[in-house]
């Protein structure tokens, strides 16, 4: 709500909004705030074409906005991840070690885990990036279906809801 209008005030080039983007509401809001489009990370992972294990896609669909955690804050390398056994273990280490936490203390939970999760579907192998936007993701469409739906729904929002506000 602040950064997009500020970017619009400062930039002379087109820019896209990132973070929490998943649907037509995201697109219309971002455009209204000055962005020229949206970037969808987590949303595109939950598409048929995404080259990740089906377990990852199902985990995103099953998740709510309450199922993510911020990790590595004491290391000044904060990342939002989907909660799992490894993330709980990592957070316990962060809590017990506090500012004494070193990257080596959590290496088991963060290093080299993406192939195990994304390719093999081992959902508790470690921490993996996932936005709170998972709470808005309820299906696994094709990319074409997703884009068509977003554009169609955005048109409805603009033509009916927003245009109806103008007297």
Whether 165 is covered by a domain: the verdict is yes
| 157 within a domain of the structure (yes/no) | yes
pTM score > 0.85 for this model? yes
Domain limits at 154?
1-44+141-167
Please tell me the total count of domains within the chain: 1
DSSP string covering the chain: --HHHHHHHH-SS--EEESS--SHHHHHHHHHTT-SEEE-SHHHHTSTTSSS-HHHHHHHHH--TTSEEEE-GGGT--EEEE--HHHHHHHHHHHHHGGG--GGGGHHHHTT-HIIIIIT--TTSS--B--GGGGG------HHHHHHHHHHHHHHIIIIIIGGG--
Q: How would you write the pLDDT of the chain (167 residues) with one tens digit per residue?
A: 999 999 999 999 999 999 999 999 999 999 999 999 999 999 999 999 999 999 999 999 999 999 999 999 999 999 999 999 999 999 999 999 999 999 999 999 999 999 999 999 999 999 999 999 999 999 999 999 999 999 999 999 999 888 877 76
């Amino acid at each position: 709500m602040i950064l997009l209008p500020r970017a619009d005030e400062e930039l002379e080039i087109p820019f896209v909004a990132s973070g929490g983007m998943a649907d037509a509401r995201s697109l219309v809001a971002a455009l209204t705030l000055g962005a020229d489009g949206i970037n969808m990370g987590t949303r595109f992972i939950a598409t048929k074409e995404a080259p990740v294990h089906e377990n990852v896609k199902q985990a995103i669909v099953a998740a709510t906005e309450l199922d993510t955690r911020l990790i590595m804050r004491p290391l000044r390398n904060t990342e939002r991840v989907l909660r799992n056994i490894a993330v709980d273990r990592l957070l316990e280490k962060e809590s017990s070690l506090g500012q004494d936490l070193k990257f080596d203390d959590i290496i088991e939970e963060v290093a080299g885990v993406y192939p195990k999760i994304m390719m093999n579907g081992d959902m508790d192998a470690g921490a993996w990036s996932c936005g709170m936007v998972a709470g808005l993701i309820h299906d696994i469409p094709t990319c074409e279906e997703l884009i068509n739906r977003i554009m169609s729904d955005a048109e409805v929002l603009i033509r009916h809801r927003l245009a109806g506000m103008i007297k």
